[in-house]
Amino acid sequence: MTIDNARRFEAGSSAVRRHVWQGKVWTAVPYRVLQDTEEYFLVASWPGLRGLVSTTWMTEFSNEEGRRERIIRELASGQWELGWWAWQNTTVRSWYYLDAYFTVRQFFDAQQRPLSWYVDFDLPKQRTHLGIDTFDLMLDLVIEPDFSSYRWKDEDDYEQARGLGLIDDQTHRHVAQAREEVVGLVETRQGPFAHDWSPPPHESWEMPVLPADVRRVRGA
């Protein structure tokens, strides 16, 4: 990933988060920007928002048993096709911490009730002219909305990704540190977890769309 005429985004503007591997876009999702700071990129998404994802990911999305095994093998091969996918059911506020190996999300259901907190472990984010680029590291942490409990998710997928070379030893060490940092934030109610957030008021917003050059990774 390379910095690509990076710029800051005004609140209310649209921006794109891409997952990029081996110089190729794996997913691309448009968001509505809530806040863009030196520390994090805060965005909102809601049902109907359309992005590009791996067609294998779409096929395997509802297959619970080993649903990501083929996706991870496909990533390791560097060969995949993209198709259109519409976000469904939930409104999401996402904090993309730019220098961190994690992203914090808060999910709300159709009645605007909090469903869960969710932490994706991913690479530090690179600013581009479109928004930010990163790469999903397969590991997740799911937290109850009242912080009564949390659980690790997709640890087997993470180990498979390590075995296939998607996650090297240095990245693994950073993830281990990030896991400790995130658990500390959850248990002490710091960072995003320090507030009782209401859902992003997306009803009056226009749906963001992907730009025509979204598949092009400069420097790839």
> 71: which 2 tokens?
């996706």
DSSP per residue, 58-110: HHHTT--TTTTHHHHHHHHHT---EEEEE--S-EEEEEEETTSSEEEEEEE-T
Q: What are phi and psi of 70, to 5 degrees?
A: -70, -35
pTM of the model: 0.92
Handedness of CA 105, 106, 107, 110 (dihedral sign): negative
- Stretch among 59-68, 80-89, 94-103, 135-144 having the lowest mean pLDDT: 59-68
- CA pair distance 135, 180, nearest whole angstrom: 20
**Cβ pair 97, 87 in contact under 8 A:** no
- Stretch among 14-23, 57-66, 205-214 having the lowest mean pLDDT: 57-66
The pLDDT of residue 69: 84
pLDDT in tens, 184-200: 999 999 999 999 899 99
Across 120-126, average pLDDT: 98
- CA pair distance 109, 92, nearest whole angstrom: 9
C-alpha neighbours within 13 Å on the C-beta side of residue 83: 8
Q: Does domain 14-204 have CATH number 2.40.50.140?
A: no
- CA pair distance 111, 47, nearest whole angstrom: 12
pLDDT in tens, 69-114: 888 999 999 999 999 999 999 999 999 999 999 999 999 999 999 9
Alpha helix positions (H), 108-199? 155-163, 169-188
pLDDT in tens, 153-194: 999 999 999 999 999 999 999 999 999 999 999 999 999 999
Give domain limits for the chain. 14-204
The residues pairing with 106 across neighbouring beta strands, listed in sequence order, are: 93, 117
Instruction: For residue 31, give the nearest of 213, 208, 200 by alpha carbon.
Output: 208
pLDDT band at 65 (very low <50, low <70, confident <90, very high): low
> 208: which 2 tokens?
């963001």
Q: What are phi and psi of 48, to 5 degrees?
A: 100, -15
